Chain A
């Protein structure tokens, strides 16, 4: 029974990741997003230290990281990128210092939390559905502001607020996928399906759907292979997504 819940959660979380990633790719904030997932690591360390739920610890540092990145994005691009690099490196280091057990560190970095609790399922499924619904509602404003922030402002869109919303949804997508992929790999499930989709599609609608489909397929096929051959789930999912990417390179881009 528990495994059915796990599969449902995996599908929902992967779909949310694929959709968030598609917008990240269009917004060209995909690397900032990858860095963001690493900010969860010191949080996972804190959670281990104080025996909190990993989602609480990860969520806490992610939220702080989101606020910092949101502020940095308003500054000139170069200094923001440098600062994001610093945040990334120090997050991983801080996390490694906080997490003493090697096994726990590997779990935090590569995923593989055991035993899905009902509370975890409720959070993950709820967060994934929220992400998908919120992105659907925000899509018009997001599309105009990723095309041109100036045009968006002149059309009366509060670009600053949209950016914060988007980052929060991105953070939620990381949290929802954390148990499957770990803080180091979760960014890959956000980035790679979107990159595959961009290779294969030309129009907005098919780009968004293909990204979601590739993400869900990577998650399901990867998990199945991992279970069958007793491999690490997170790593297998990401390698599966990467295989889709390699295949997509064979398609000629117009």
Chain B
């Protein structure tokens, strides 16, 4: 069977400077890939190359008839934008000529309700907004879902629900998922493959095999990576909440 996605020697440069080089990976249908690496390692750049949004060198091959749903990290939408998710779902459904029942279905899958989807996007909580984005990505029945830091603006409880949802989509619906994550525990728990990036591809493979101490050291520096496990999560979240308050 042809892999769902093959990337060979991907290289991306901005203004003549390489921000990503020597990245290769392969993913089968129904697998779950975690893309990890420190800040500025080129994770989002890699996703954007996969989505064909930026020019790159190397080859990216999607299986024929691949439909991609994308959930971006954050959306710089105006707080007073008079648009709600109902408008956005209707707009996408109309462009793709989908029946109204499809909208109902994705709303149910992500656990939203009519009250939330008729609220202006600027008035939603981080978790509600993220679910809205996932539902938007699910419209049109994608075979691949790409998430960029899906829990970046969500509290701990919401974070687990989102990871749970992603896992459910992969498990129950057989959707291939690609998730950029800071959270190594997510990688061990849910990912079937992991791609480590630090401007270059540092490691790729099954998490238990690919994530050697050497690879992690190359990614995060010596002894720093424990910070990324769930055990020390509470500290992470204090920092995160602080960010939001600012």
Q: Decide if A and B are genuine partners.
A: yes
A residues bordering B, Cβ < 8 Å? 26, 28, 139-141, 143-144, 146-148, 150-151, 153-157, 198, 201-204, 207, 253-254
Return the contact of B95 from the options A155, A201, A203, A253 (Cβ within 8 A): A155
Please, which residues of chain A bring their CB within 8 A of the CB of B140? 155
15 example contacts (A-B, Cβ-Cβ < 8 A) are as follows: A26-B78, A143-B87, A144-B88, A144-B91, A144-B95, A147-B75, A147-B77, A150-B75, A154-B51, A155-B95, A155-B140, A156-B95, A203-B84, A203-B118, A253-B80
Task: Identify whether the interface residues of A are mostly helix, strand, loop, or mixed.
Answer: helix
Contacts of B84 in A (CB 8 A): 203-204
CB neighbours (8 Å) of B51 from chain A are 153-154
Bound form: Cα–Cα A151–B135 in Å? 12
Mark contacts of B13-52 with chain A using CB atoms, 8 A cut-off: 1 yes-contact digit, 0 otherwise.
0000000000000000000000000000000000000010
* B152 interface hit (Cβ, 8 Å): no
Q: When A and B form their complex, what is the total count of cross-chain residue pairs whose Cβ atoms lie within 8 Å?
A: 72
With the chains together, A194 CA to B149 CA distance in Å? 35
- CA gap between A7 and B189 in the complex, in Å: 68
Q: How far does the alpha carbon of A157 sit from the alpha carbon of B88 in the complex, in Å?
A: 13
A204 to B123, alpha carbons, bound, how many Å? Answer: 14
CA of A203 to CA of B76, assembled, Å: 19
Within the complex, the shortest CB–CB distance from B217 to chain A, in Å, comes to 33
Chain A residues in 8 Å Cβ range of B68: 154
Within the complex, which residue of A143, A156, A203 is in contact with B88, where a contact is CB–CB below 8 Å?
A: A143
Cα of A235 to Cα of B245 in the assembled complex, Å: 45
Residues 203-246 of B at the A interface (beta carbon under 8 Å): none
In the docked arrangement, what's the CA distance between A144 and B95, Å?
10
B116 within 8 A of A: no
Question: Which 7 pairs between the two chains have the least Cβ-Cβ distance?
Answer: A154-B70, A140-B91, A207-B82, A148-B75, A143-B91, A204-B87, A140-B94
Interface residues of B in 72-90 (CB under 8 A from A): 72, 75-78, 80-84, 87-88, 90
B144 to chain A, nearest CB (A): 11
14 additional contacts, CB 8 Å, given A26-B83, A154-B53, A154-B69? A139-B91, A140-B91, A140-B92, A141-B95, A143-B87, A143-B88, A144-B91, A147-B81, A148-B76, A155-B95, A157-B95, A203-B120, A204-B82, A204-B83
Query: In the bound complex, do residue A150 and residue B82 qualify as a contact, i.e. CB atoms below 8 Å apart?
Result: no
Closest Cβ neighbor of B85 among chain A residues: A147
B70 contacts A26, C-beta separation under 8 Å: no
Cα separation A139 to B51 with both chains bound (whole Å): 24
Known: A140-B95, A143-B88. A148 touches B78 (CB 8 A): no
Chain B interfacial positions (CB closer than 8 Å to A): 51, 53, 68-70, 72, 75-78, 80-84, 87-88, 90-92, 94-96, 118, 120-121, 123, 133, 136-137, 140
Task: Assess whether B77 is in contact with A148, with CB atoms less than 8 Å apart.
Answer: yes
Q: Is the CB of B92 within 8 A of A144?
A: yes
Bound-state CA distance A144–B140 (Å) is 15
Cα A147 to Cα B87 with chains together (Å): 11
In whole angstroms, what is the CA distance A156 to B51 when docked?
10
A154 to B78, CA, bound (A): 20
Q: Tell me the minimal C-beta distance from A135 to chain B in angstroms.
A: 13
Q: Which residues of A contact B94 (CB under 8 A)?
A: 140
Contact A198 B83 (CB under 8 A): no
Q: How far is the CB of A249 from chain B (nearest CB, A)?
A: 14
Option from B76, B81, B137 in Cβ contact (under 8 Å) with A26: B81
